[in-house]
Amino acid sequence: MTQAGRQGSPRNRGQRPTQKNSAGQKNGGAQSNSGSFGGRGNAARGGAKGAPKGSQRKRGERPQAKGTGAAPFANERFGRNLGAVQRTDRKSPTPLPQHKPRTRAEMNDEGVRLQKVMANAGVASRRVCEELIEQGRVEVNGQIVTELGSRVNPETDVIHVDGVRVQLNENLVYMAFNKPRGVVSTMDDPEGRPCISDYLRAGTPERLFHVGRLDTNTEGLLLLTNDGELANRLSHPSYEVPKTYVVQVRGPMPHGVGAQLRRGIELEDGLAKVDSFKLVDSTPGFVLVEVVLHSGKNRIVRRMFDAIGFPVQRLVRAKIGPIGLGDQKQGTIRKLGKQEVGHLMAAVGL
């Protein structure tokens, strides 16, 4: 496999990146390639008009990118085709601090100019950030801001651009790891087996959480971060973050198996079912299928396929929420793009 993503070609100011059509993914994110199995996927396209100045929206609604205009995060290598932001407003297992709306006078007299904070965070040039503000595509603490004189506190205020959360804390790290078979999903293994820390570069923060365990024989995507709140929400069952797996089993597979898995399989710890089932490839001797489910139970995919008489030969996790492996090589770790981080946060209500 080749390294995922290519640097976008230069564009004139105001020109938006081209996005592909959606393949109908439930979570609205970009459909990734299914690892070394060679499955194919398309990117999603999304966007709606930004809300006008002073308009009010229901809780959870976010302004979407207009059909034309400035493009935030246009120079990023990863995460440029994730489509419309899919936001959840489920209650957090750990309450977040509430941000009190500030008066116009406070926004004009205190802190740093909004466009400067956005530019420093890598959204776009300061001039493009000014356009985004004037177009009503920027929110501060849940309120649309359209005045260029507005000031914010980068340490306490929450900023969204087209519904994408702007990460202002430079100490927080977000990475995707393509775990090879045989690697243990821990940072340290007392038995001396290969583990995640063996693949981290020098200088990486010592305290990292890995989001989503994979058994030793399962390959694919693990998210690594030192953002404890995000890791907690991604792991919490109440947020039902979907996970996509590509499964290889012996063929042929009779009709009706997909419907059976969608209805649910009774296991020793209760009913388990997939959200979707799709045949990827079928050749004499084996079958590749893609399943999406949000359950985080231990070895759930293997146990479900064992229960229907098709033991798993190979298993790869291709996506967690909107984040996919694409063509990322096995054993490599890459930093998530700012749009990827924003979509991931939106998926768990941040």
Q: Which residues are catalytic?
A: 215
Task: Calculate ∠ Cα 282-283-289, nearest 5°.
Answer: 25
Query: CB–CB of 44/300 below 8 Å?
Result: no
Q: Radius of gyration of the chain from Cα atoms? A: 21
Number of neighbouring beta carbons within 10 Å of residue 18? 11
How far apart are the C-alpha atoms of 111 and 332, rounded to whole Å?
40
How far apart are the C-alpha atoms of 162 and 157, rounded to whole Å?
16
Number of neighbouring beta carbons within 10 Å of residue 216? 12
Instruction: Give the residue among 228, 213, 222, 234 at the shortest CA–CA distance from 348.
Output: 234
Number of neighbouring beta carbons within 10 Å of residue 37? 17
Cβ partners under 8 Å of residue 189, min gap 6: 195
Instruction: Give the residue among 247, 207, 250, 252 at the shortest CA–CA distance from 231.
Output: 207
Task: Calculate ∠ Cα 175-79-185, nearest 5°.
Answer: 25
Pairing of strands 164-165, 159-161: antiparallel
* Tokens at 216, concatenated: 């030793």
Residue 138 DSSP label:
E
Query: CB–CB of 3/327 below 8 Å?
Result: yes
Instruction: Give the residue among 247, 297, 303 at the shortest CA–CA distance from 277.
Output: 247
